[in-house]
Structure 1
């Protein structure tokens, strides 16, 4: 039976999905302004732009989450008006989101076939479902038990399950929104192989990524959005990195240079006593005797591959990860182990990696999200001072240049970069002595990334002790005074001074310290 939201027009063309003059606004803020976009069968089409450029809104219009205010969407030759995402899925449009949108308490197999479970005699045919799910994940090179609850898996494995779900339906379009952000190099290679296979089968793929190198590895064409408009569409092989960034920003790429950078190196930190000292941290199956120090005004980088213990280290410092041994000292005073409340009172703040699950509260306003951590300070005899909160929020929205129609706008309506700034503002309100930043630029565009990096530099210049986790080597090398490299839950190496180079970091990540020393000496020459 034909889906009533689709009117098929013959003959079908090579274009499988397109928009014509699509507009969309939220509370007077124009998210899309007459966007024209087309995806061909058997094509991988990159969709790029700064956070807030309209990428997420366009994807939601294409998939039935939002209905456009103007213009039209065409699918397989006919105009469509998807009333809800299920209609788009039934039509053959699958979406893989950056932040996995599945059910953690259900098994891997149930998530893959959720809403489409095979049945026998009116009941779910579990053996068939699990067998088919096992075949799908094995095709992706993932070795997991499909009977296990999804929530027990890491983010990378969950992302591969989301891809398996998309492959389980006869999709003619697959939209991938930052699919590689949580994947290891091996998983990225597998994802690209599967994507090319789908392309060769005539499937059209829309690929969103802030890792620009990936675009040239995988994509055929690119469309650039800026301020809700499509400003460039063309082939990837005819575009340089500088040209792409310039289209995204609407200005010369050279303006991306970091302003207010710290005076990296040891000289400006000499004689300063550590504000944070960590020693002998042990956590079951994750950390083994981790120790580090951070001085006021210092940016300490935490390097390591996925699974090395970087996130676990900052969570242990913050008291959010149960530890069996070790001590954390801030300003000479011990912090109670396994106590987030005491860590906060001691001046420790943590910006977690997963802003959706552990950060923003989507149904609250920007104002309420910023003020959450300081509500006790803003109350007297149980009564909250609304005027003090308004003044505080206004101050930090201005300082961090948070783009919102007003402090009362729902935070879920903001771009990813602005949501990240809201979370940074929340913790800066607490006046921390130590700021733990876990992938603060993950999933945000180059413009917002430069702003966040400059903000980190400014915080360090003001005397804050910063611990920075990043999967991007250049970000660590350029942004840190020292780098502690973790491997298998233990400190593998420490790089500073002349050793603080990309080649030395790469060697240390691989666990070859001798190679790291040689690489550093070679780079000096």
Structure 2
């Protein structure tokens, strides 16, 4: 293989923190090269430098691409050389068609007028390449997340991509969609495509990558041959976190008490289509000191159930009963749900969990401003004291609580969301995909927080698409399918096979 890309001694400093320190990365033509590391390690910063988001002059070091020194002044500059980056947050316009998205800013035209027949023909060719059979006129908001990810790749192919960079491409995908995307990457590789893959899912990295570069605390600590029998998940994790992790899940001495939160015959209808029932007669219990999981395929109704319970944030014509400590509670608004003792960590931390342009300090206190106020006036000194306490306790990697949340890595953003709800002092914490898109080290810290809440006698309800996570953390697991709870398993009874058997039989 010939060398396509060399990034040499790349150093990038932000106010108060050195994000990258003398990082070297070599990528061969035609390979899939994975870049892994903990949240905040510098992976995304390195890719933003490569793609021109941080232009030449804003970093130290040198980029050599196709044998020449490259000084990209912006994204359009790198794209003109065939370097395309697909971010974790998809950059599609939902109300435009697939064809319009594929050629937005790259229109097929004749004498200044868009050539729609040619646009649709090229769109069909590109969709076939990525395995989609949708019509070019289909609106993007009618597609699932997995298909939207494939549209993003088709969009890259429309720009004559030579080096495709994918940042956590499977973070929001189901198992089936993830496998389809990985298969496509391997197919593109067989056609000569070069890819850089950023992912926290090490099993996926091992499946498709030829080589793996590990970044820790802004430095490249190793580059491993993924086809070498000595390269294992344990070795990758050790390089990522700087230590061995004997256990993926922290141990806990279980001390489960009386029923804390009970839901009986909960029914929810679609917010826009009143005739469509989304949740059907759901009944479950969370006991004091217990971590309860909800397993199920994407689209099974898990998130809809959680959101409908938390202040009726989802759905209409909601019926059923909720009890806390054997007493009925009013969950009809978000404010009343919080007052009742519920907290909800959403799966969409950026869209629904945080105010991205606000500071860490303000985000942490947002759900319980009364606790840092007097006579309706915010006590900013107390707010700073509280948020600084959570910054230290949660190991949020930032030089200051006055940092805007938008500038944090995914794992540190998730810790801010958790801090916000812990400060609200809930009796029951609902966690929806709490470790999505974060690294193994940060996952372990979040698992520790869950155990601590259980040790304090609170109840934790966790929704997760990662069955090993449910099996490793939960005392009981409910299985959900097509809006109904179809099975219940104790920790001793639970296995991936038994969970799937409930789903396929229902």
TM-score (norm 1): 0.89
Could you tell me how far apart the structure 2 residues matched to 1:153 and 1:377 are? 43
Could you tell me how far apart the structure 2 residues matched to 1:163 and 1:156 are? 11
Note if contact 1:276-1:434 (Cα within 8 Å) is conserved in structure 2. no
Q: Secondary structure at the match of 1:132?
A: helix
Q: Secondary structure at the match of 2:259?
A: coil
Could you tell me how far apart the structure 2 residues matched to 1:498 and 1:390 are? 44
Could you tell me how far apart the structure 1 residues matched to 2:491 and 2:361 are? 42
Note if contact 1:104-1:149 (Cα within 8 Å) is conserved in structure 2. yes
**Residues 1:244 and 2:236 are matched in the alignment:** yes
How far 1:127 sits from its partner (Å)?
Answer: 4.2
Q: Deviations over 1:346-369 (max 9, x none)?
A: 222111112222223222221122
Could you tell me how far apart the structure 1 residues matched to 2:303 and 2:117 are? 37
Task: Evaluate the alpha carbon distance shift between residue 138 and residue 464 of structure 1 in structure 2; reply closer, same or farther with a 3 A threshold.
Answer: farther
What corresponds to 2:174 in structure 1?
Answer: 184
What corresponds to 2:316 in structure 1?
Answer: 323
What corresponds to 2:79 in structure 1?
Answer: 89
Task: Evaluate the alpha carbon distance shift between residue 359 and residue 144 of structure 1 in structure 2; reply closer, same or farther with a 3 A threshold.
Answer: farther
What corresponds to 2:358 in structure 1?
Answer: 364
Q: Deviations over 1:175-195 (max 9, x none)?
A: 111111222333223322321
User: May I ask how many residue pairs the two structures share in their alignment?
Assistant: 493
**Residues 1:275 and 2:270 are matched in the alignment:** no
**Residues 1:156 and 2:156 are matched in the alignment:** no
User: What does 1:374-385 align with in structure 2 at a 5 Å threshold?
Assistant: 374-385=368-379
What corresponds to 1:516 in structure 2?
Answer: none
Task: Evaluate the alpha carbon distance shift between residue 307 and residue 252 of structure 1 in structure 2; reply closer, same or farther with a 3 A threshold.
Answer: same
How far 1:295 sits from its partner (Å)?
Answer: 1.8
Task: Evaluate the alpha carbon distance shift between residue 361 and residue 81 of structure 1 in structure 2; reply closer, same or farther with a 3 A threshold.
Answer: farther
Q: Deviations over 1:443-482 (max 9, x none)?
A: 1111111111111111111122111011111110111111
What corresponds to 2:46 in structure 1?
Answer: 58
Q: Secondary structure at the match of 2:22?
A: strand
How far 1:74 sits from its partner (Å)?
Answer: 1.5
Could you tell me how far apart the structure 1 residues matched to 2:136 and 2:252 are? 47
Q: Secondary structure at the match of 1:507?
A: helix
Task: Evaluate the alpha carbon distance shift between residue 162 and residue 376 of structure 1 in structure 2; reply closer, same or farther with a 3 A threshold.
Answer: farther
Could you tell me how far apart the structure 2 residues matched to 1:490 and 1:363 are? 38
Could you tell me how far apart the structure 2 residues matched to 1:289 and 1:142 are? 36
Note if contact 2:172-2:436 (Cα within 8 Å) is conserved in structure 1. no
How far 1:20 sits from its partner (Å)?
Answer: 0.3
Q: Deviations over 1:299-343 (max 9, x none)?
A: 110100111111111111112101323224242223244x32322
Higher alpha-carbon deviation: 123-132 or 106-115 = 123-132
Could you tell me how far apart the structure 1 residues matched to 2:91 and 2:357 are? 17
State which of 455, 459, 482 in structure 2 corresponds to 1:465. Answer: 459
What corresponds to 1:522 in structure 2?
Answer: none
Q: Secondary structure at the match of 2:260?
A: coil
Q: CA RMSD in A?
A: 2.1
How far 1:409 sits from its partner (Å)?
Answer: 1.4
State which of 334, 343, 348 in structure 2 corresponds to 1:340. Answer: 334
Q: Secondary structure at the match of 1:324?
A: strand
Higher alpha-carbon deviation: 421-430 or 233-242 = 233-242
What corresponds to 2:283 in structure 1?
Answer: 291
State which of 208, 230, 252 in structure 2 corresponds to 1:261. Answer: 252
Q: Secondary structure at the match of 2:18?
A: strand
User: What does 1:384-395 align with in structure 2 at a 5 Å threshold?
Assistant: 384-395=378-389
How far 1:506 sits from its partner (Å)?
Answer: 3.2
| Unmatched tracts of structure 2, length 5 or more | 271-275
Task: Evaluate the alpha carbon distance shift between residue 154 and residue 347 of structure 1 in structure 2; reply closer, same or farther with a 3 A threshold.
Answer: farther
Could you tell me how far apart the structure 2 residues matched to 1:101 and 1:296 are? 43
Could you tell me how far apart the structure 2 residues matched to 1:278 and 1:417 are? 34
Task: Evaluate the alpha carbon distance shift between residue 148 and residue 374 of structure 1 in structure 2; reply closer, same or farther with a 3 A threshold.
Answer: farther
Q: Deviations over 1:147-188 (max 9, x none)?
A: 344344332232222122112221110011111122233322
What corresponds to 1:132 in structure 2?
Answer: 122
**Residues 1:45 and 2:37 are matched in the alignment:** no
